[in-house]
Structure 1
Amino acid sequence: MDNQRNLLLAVALSGLLILGWDLGMRYFYPQASLSGQTEVVATGNEAPATVTAPGSIETGTAASVAPVDLATALAAPERVRIAAPRVEGSINLVGARIDDIELKDHRAIVDEDSGPVQLFAPQGTPEQYFAQFGWVGQGVTLPTANTVWQASGEALTADNPVTLTHDNGEGQTFTITLSIDDNYMITAQQAVSNNGAGPIVVRPFGLINRTSATASASTFIAHAGPMGGFGDTIEYGPDYDDLIEDGTHTPEGGAPDWLGFSDIYWLGALIPGEGGDATAGFRSLGNNIFRADLIYAPMTVPAGSSVTSSSKLFAGAKESALLDSYRDNLGIQNFGKAVDWGWFEWFVKPMLWLLRTLYEFLGNFGVAIIALTVIIRGLLFPIAQKQFASMAAMKAVQPKMKAIQDRYKDDKQKQQQEVMKLYKDEGVNPLAGCLPLLIQIPIFFALYKALILAIEMRHKPFIFWIEDLSAPDPAKILNLFGLLPFDPPGFLGIGVLAVLLGITMWATFKLNPTAMDPVQQQIFNFMPWILMFVMAPFAAGLLLYWVTSNLLTLAQQKYLYSKHPQLRAQAEKDKAEQERTKAREGK
């Protein structure tokens, strides 16, 4: 009766685990919108007017911005085209905003005809996300958000910079010279020439403005939102909700190395120029609009003189090798940590490197994951051999252990001491069987991080129906593999890979040579199916790894059984004894 009660309790707790996991993930980490929202965005005039405090930019008088669709906004005539090797888009001459960035090498969705990712978009569009460079100052008329700049050319390319010029009519000329490299880095050189009667004081700034409506959601596995490198530290935060509550956030790590807004795969970041004395911060502007500010120390410009400052803007994909190259070549400290690797960076990055290498050789990321699994299991095979040898030794001492338990059944402390002495005398380690599992945990987590965070995995197909290994298996059984017009939610979205995971794990448990009582046996019988539900929403690549690992485990166990026949004999004896016990209980 106790066994039946314990079994029912285990089943109930397992059901709560399935439901609780799905509901908890949906509550704490809601899915990010993958398409633009029709929300009307209202924001202040982002043109700075005056400096209210060191390190802050006053936005001026709040003014509503009428909503506009992307095509209409980009059709405006006051634009300079961007035509770089990996970036297309345009610069808005009204306000000198970089507000149109398309990433040519990355599709918006898995469909090959979907078009490129639209990273930056103009103010007032549902996808609002742009960068702006300018000045705040005293005793001088400055360019504003409505200033129409003059451009030196028709297109910004990797070989041809573009200079934007504005003459305020009072003796001061402002210029912003923009250049772009072969990837995603834009350099902005800001200059002020003072031909007026007296000195002026100006402070160059750069800002990034974006809506959170189309941002990636922060999850327990990776931060998305405000982010930056400050001194020796990286700040993965605050979240957008925290910034709404607090209003502003000033990083505490020291002078900024870079700051901006991060999505899972994309990054918009400002990088101060060398030797620039700059301060940084984040702020909420209301209506789900946020801003990252980079502002330099005041510069005095005497009459007849000019001053310059330089900043950089990264607007592109978080390709880890590229970010590391900017760190090495441009001296941008900790720029590679814009990918939130976490504590396992030392393990995740080598695994990602190996996956990329296998992919380059094999030409298919799914096959590369299978090859990686084979390599990992091959490296762990000596440990598995020791595990089975330890299990064989444990079987050999079972009669002696049973004798000790019977002899000292009324003295548990003495019983434990004698059992430990038996282990020592026989050279048996009862924990040796746990070592492979403990080693698998960081490997599994590292691969999970790599599949979720590394853009190299995004939209990579395997075979047949699996077109994106970084997304869940799309072939879901409950909607008859897409024939029925609904998408099963969360843990109910059981796909083919999840079913294979359950079957292969059940098979590995069946080969487990460890004797179990009836309750344990029942738990191990339904545990694979619980994991099938829990793992169903995970990336297809992760399930592919686990299914392959289970198949290799089955082959490995069969081989090792042949090397340790006493384990096979004992397992069959235990199974027969369990069947007899079950038959007696059924009478």
Structure 2
Amino acid sequence: MDDKRNWITAILLSAAILLGWNFVAQKFFPTPTKPDVTKTVAGSPTAATATPGTPATPPATGATPAAPAVQAIVPVETAVASANRVPIETPALAGSINLAGARIDDVTLTKYRQTIKKNAPPVRLFAPGNTKAAYFASVGWAAQGIEVPGPATIWTASGAKLTPTTPVTLSWSNTTGQTFRIEYSIDADYLITAKQTIANSGAAPVSASSFALIDRLGKPTDPHEQDSWTIHVGPTGYLGGKSVFDVNYTDLDDGTAAKYDSAGWLGFTDKYWLAAVVPAKGERVSASITSPAANNYQTLFARNFAEVAPGKQITTTTRIFAGAKEVYTLQRYEKDQGITRLSNAIDWGWFEFFAVPIFKLLDWLFRMVGNFGVAIMLLTLIIRGLMFPIAQRQFHSMAQMRLVQPKMKALQERYKDDKPRQQQELMKLYKDEKINPLAGCLPIVIQIPIFYALYKVLMLTIEMRHQPFALWIKDLSAPDPAHFLNLFGLLDFTPPSLLALGPLALILGITMFLQFRLNPQATDPVQQQVFKIMPWMFMFIMAPFAAGLLLYWITNNCLSIAQQQFMYRKFPQLKAAPAK
């Protein structure tokens, strides 16, 4: 009767885990999907009816701005075809500066494609304000008693193209003697520098303040690109002396505005991309994250007002990051440009101390062998090598447990009607025989942070995006594209994640089954049944995960099998039948 009850309990527990995992995985461990190449990657396809870009809280007086003018929505290609533009061209970026408003609103990342297809278009980060996916950076001024340039101001450019060797200066003058200039320069990666100058040629002093903002219309609509427990997508920055990950689009939709009295940088992060504005190092600014209009989100910092005397000028410097969250590039900007904790734009999470070394080792292995899949296998081999002493202790404990198994069974039989006494006698037996029953769990416990760190590396780092392995595995950061249920793509439908079983998941289940077969059989009937079911349960659980994670686990299983065979030769009592 007890065996039947234990068997039923094991089945119900396994079914609950299997069925409930789909919900848990989607919420806490989202898997990537293929992006739609018809949409801008960083923007949202949500339609808009108003031109974004007006500061939510103007630094001039704090007065509420007039409602933005309604503007017709046009395709991105039409919007960037305007004649009032200065081209941007670097090894990493292409696009243009809009002379209407001096906005940087046209940026594509030439090193990255939207899909793994050869002819896929490059990733678009910024798009003009009159498009469905408006997303741009802007700098400007606020002043008291004088006219300042606004979103519709047409600037005059002194250069033909913005490149790492040719800066461009934009200028505009009002009717009261003030001239405004923006000198844009750019490096070979993703950092644009804007030097804002106000020169006062009038007869009276003026009080002015400069600001910079990132404006975004809409938010990601793909569920795998949205904010989750493990991956932050949305407003972020180094604000108020700490990295901010606790403000999301939902908060802003509810009318919450986050305000800070200091800022190292702030902007919007996607899984792989970042747009941020950065004040000068040590500069005193106030910052805010707001939603100035429905479906419109804005991060802004503003400087204090300063008086500009007649015949004088004031220059401030703003840096704009617009690009991919490459780990070493972000770290270099931290070191060389003094941008505080810019690398925290990658949400490493609680295991940052562990995930970053995992990434660096994996990236180094990849550079050595040239194949990311092989690098994962080598990483697994290194980890197993480091854990070998722990595995030896585990197998030694298992050997001792095997030797005392007859005594354990005798105690269980003797005290089968007195469970508390049975546990006391078992613990006494462990103590007398110097056995640690939990020693076998240690490798599993250690594997948890390793697996989670590798999950974060595969899901977050741009260096691992679209990396192929072999045969049909063209992107190790995405799930196995081959599915048995649709006959490997011959049938035109995508199976649900719970049934998206492919060759990698099947190999995972088989190797885990073989590994468990080599383990000494558990004495508890429930454990026996759970160990029989677990490989096939995990086969379905892991199927929707990134192919790189499955490759890691398969390699780990194969190494475990080889290690177990070695240990069996070293501890032959593990295979020996227990004496009666």
TM-score range, shorter chain: over 0.9
- Tell me what 1:579 maps to: none
TM-score by length of structure 2 reads: 0.93
1:519 and 1:51 map into 2 onto residues whose CA distance is: 66
- Residue in 2 that maps onto 1:294: 301
1:60-79 pair list within 5 angstroms:
60-79=66-85
Identity across matched positions, percent: 49
Matched, 1:134 2:140: yes
In 2, the alpha carbon distance for the partners of 1:57 and 1:320 equals 40
Shift of 1:512: 1.4
Match of 1:561 in 2: 568
| 2:257 match | 248
Counterpart Cα distance in 2 of 1:492 and 1:78: 53
Q: Is the 8 A contact 1:203 1:298 kept in 2?
A: yes
**2:332 aligned partner:** 325
1:430 and 2:433 equivalent? no
Q: What does residue range 87-486 of structure 1 map to in structure 2 within 5 Å?
A: 87-214=93-220, 216-251=225-260, 254-404=261-411, 416-486=423-493
Partner-residue secondary structure (3-state), 1:292: strand
Tell me the SS of whatever aligns to 1:383.
Answer: helix
Report the counterpart of residue 20 of structure 2 in structure 1. Answer: 20
Alignment partner of 2:531 out of 524, 529, 534 = 524
CA distance in 2, matches of 1:129, 1:57: 24
Instruction: State which drifts further: 189-198 or 562-571.
Output: 562-571
Mapping 1:2-81, distance limit 5 Å: 2-26=2-26, 34=36, 35-36=39-40, 38-44=45-51, 46-47=53-54, 51=58, 58-81=64-87
CA apart distance, 1:378:
1.4
> What is the match of residue 583 of structure 1?
none
| 1:65, distance to aligned residue in structure 2 (A) | 2.4
1:511 aligns with 2:515: no
Matches of 1:503 and 1:453, distance apart in 2: 29
- Describe the superposition over 1:507-543 as per-residue Cα deviations: whole angstroms up to 9, x where unpaired: 1111111334444323222221211111111110000
Q: Which amino acid aligns with 1:218?
A: D
3-state SS of paired residue (2:203):
coil
The two structures, once aligned, show a CA RMSD in angstroms of 2.4
Q: Name the aligned partner's letter for residue 245 of structure 2.
A: Y
Larger RCO, structure (CA 8 Å, separation 6 or more): 2
Matched to 2:159, the amino acid is: G
Q: Which amino acid aligns with 1:456?
A: E
Q: 1:190 to 1:239 in 2, by over 3 A?
A: same
**Runs of 5+ in structure 2 lacking a partner?**
none
SS of match in other structure, 2:316: strand
Corresponding residue for residue 580 of structure 1: none
Structure 1 distance, partners of 2:423, 2:3, is: 25
- Taking structure 1 as reference, are residues 231 and 110 closer, same or farther at Cα in structure 2, changes over 3 Å only? same
- Following TM superposition, by how much is the alpha carbon of 1:86 offset from its aligned partner in structure 2, in angstroms? 1.1
Q: For residue 465 of structure 1, give the secondary structure of its aligned residue in structure 2.
A: coil
| Cα pair distance change 1:236/1:58, threshold 3 Å | same
| Preserved contact between residue 131 and residue 209 of structure 1 (Cα < 8 Å) | yes
Whole-Å separation in 2 of the counterparts to 1:505 and 1:71:
51
For the 8 Å contact 1:229–1:334, the answer to whether it is kept is: yes
Determine the C-alpha separation between the residues in 2 that align with 1:491 and 1:182: 44
How far residue 407 of structure 1 moved from its aligned partner, in angstroms, is 6.1
Structure 1 residues 38 and 220 mapped into 2: Cα distance closer, same or farther (>3 Å)?
closer
Amino acid aligned to 2:95: G
Give 1:53 shift. 8.0
- Aligned residue in 2 for 1:85: 91
The verdict on how the C-alpha distance between 1:25 and 1:69 changes in structure 2, with shifts beyond 3 A counting, is farther
- Deviations, residues 404-424 of structure 1 (Å, cap 9, x unaligned): 556666766565444434333
SS of residue paired to 1:155:
coil
CA distance in 1, matches of 2:178, 2:153: 14
Residues paired across the two proteins, number: 570
CA distance in structure 1 between the partners assigned to 2:397 and 2:24 by the alignment? 40
- 2:198 partner amino acid: V
For 2:507 and 2:31, the matched residues in 1 are separated by: 28
Which shows bigger deviation, 68-77 or 41-50? 41-50
